[in-house]
Amino acid sequence: MEGEALKALEERACAAEARLAALESSQSAGDAGPCAALGEAEKRVKQLEREKKELEAQAEKLRYRVDILVATVREGDALLKAALSGDDLERTQLADKLAHLCS
């Protein structure tokens, strides 16, 4: 009887150890999932930050180019107005300056 009781206890202990191992395994797998997802999210955030910096640099270059174009158009407009109101020699000189701006 004692042998049978001991054998039953050993079987229950083995089953409990197997369940515990399965739980620990699933817990480890569950922990890896969120960690992996967090790692991927962090990589994506870093990538998006790099892209943001690149886009900001491109935007700054475009603002600079637009500022130059606006200044050139304003200067050309002023030269054109002056050419229309001046004498022939002055018009010729201003037309040359305007042609230089356009090149």
Q: Give pLDDT tens digits for 44-89.
A: 999 999 999 999 999 999 999 999 999 988 988 887 887 777 677 7
pLDDT for position 6: 67
Domain coverage including residue 54? 2-102
The 3-state secondary structure of the chain reads CHHHHHHHHHHHHHHHHHHHHHHHHHHHHHHHHHHHHHHHHHHHHHHHHHHHHHHHHHHHHHHHHHHHHHHHHHHHHHHHHHHHHCCHHHHHHHHHHHHHHHC
Question: pTM above 0.75?
Answer: no
The answer, yes or no, to whether residue 7 has pLDDT greater than 60, is yes
First to last CA, the chain: 109
User: Distance between CA 86 and CA 80 in Å, rounded?
Assistant: 10
User: Which residue type is seen at 87?
Assistant: D
At residue 1, does pLDDT exceed 60? Answer: no
Question: How many domains, in total, are found in the chain?
Answer: 1
Would you tell me the crossing angle of helices 88-102 and 2-85 to the nearest 10 degrees? 160
